Amino acid sequence: MGLKKIVSFPGEIYVLFALSSIVFFYGGYPFLKGIFDELRSSKPGMMTLIAIAITTAYVLQQCCCIGLRGMAFFWELATLIDVMLLGHWIEMKSIMGASKALEELASLMPSDAHKLMPDGSIEDVPLRELMVADSVLIKPGEKIPADGIVEDGETSVNEAMLTGESKPVHKKAGDKVIGGSINGEGSITAKVNKTGADSFLSQVIKLVKEAQESKSRTQDLANRAAVWLIIIAIVGGGYNTFCMALYNERGLCLWLLSGLSL
226 has a pLDDT exceeding 80: no
Contact indicator for 76, 61 with CB cutoff of 8 Å: no
Q: Give a yes or no: residue 3 inside a domain.
A: no
| 60 belongs to a structural domain | yes
Q: Kindly provide the b/e burial profile for residues 79-103, where b requires at least 16 CB atoms within 10 angstroms of the residue's own CB.
A: ebbeebbeebeeeeeeeeeeeeeee
Domain stops at, among 198, 219, 241: 198
- pLDDT at residue 262 in the model: 47
Asked if residue 6 is part of any domain, the answer here is: no
Q: What is the pLDDT of residue 260?
A: 45
Structural domain ending residue among the three candidates 144, 174, 198: 198
Kindly state whether residues 99 and 138 are assigned to the same domain. no
Residues 5-33 have pLDDT tens digits of: 666 666 677 777 788 888 888 888 888 88
If asked whether residues 19 and 41 sit together in one domain, one would say yes
Examine the domain organization and report whether 32 and 150 are in the same domain: no
Order of strands across the sheet that contains 188-194: 122-126, 112-116, 135-138, 188-194, 147-152, 176-177
Do 36 and 99 lie in one domain? The reply is yes
Residue 34 has pLDDT above 60, yes or no: yes
Say if residue 100 is in the same domain as residue 134: no
Residue 2 lies in a domain: no
- What is the extent of the structural domain holding 127? 112-198
Residues 96 and 17 in one domain: yes
Regarding whether 149 and 20 lie in a shared domain, the answer is: no
Q: Say yes or no to pLDDT of 135 above 80.
A: yes
Predicted confidence (pLDDT) per residue in 58-71, tens digit = 887 777 777 666 66
pLDDT score, position 242: 58
Task: Tell me the whole-structure pTM to 2 decimals.
Answer: 0.53
Which three-class secondary structure string do you get for 2-38? Answer: HHHHHHCCCCHHHHHHHHHHHHHHHHCHHHHHHHHHH
Q: Give the domain-ending residue among 198, 221, 248.
A: 198
User: Is there a single domain that holds both residue 71 and residue 39?
Assistant: yes
In this structure, of 46-60, 74-88, 136-150, 237-251, the range with the lowest mean pLDDT score is 237-251
Is 178 in the same domain as 219? no
User: How many structural domains is the chain composed of?
Assistant: 2
Does 256 fall in a domain?
A: yes
Q: What percent of the chain has pLDDT over 70?
A: 77
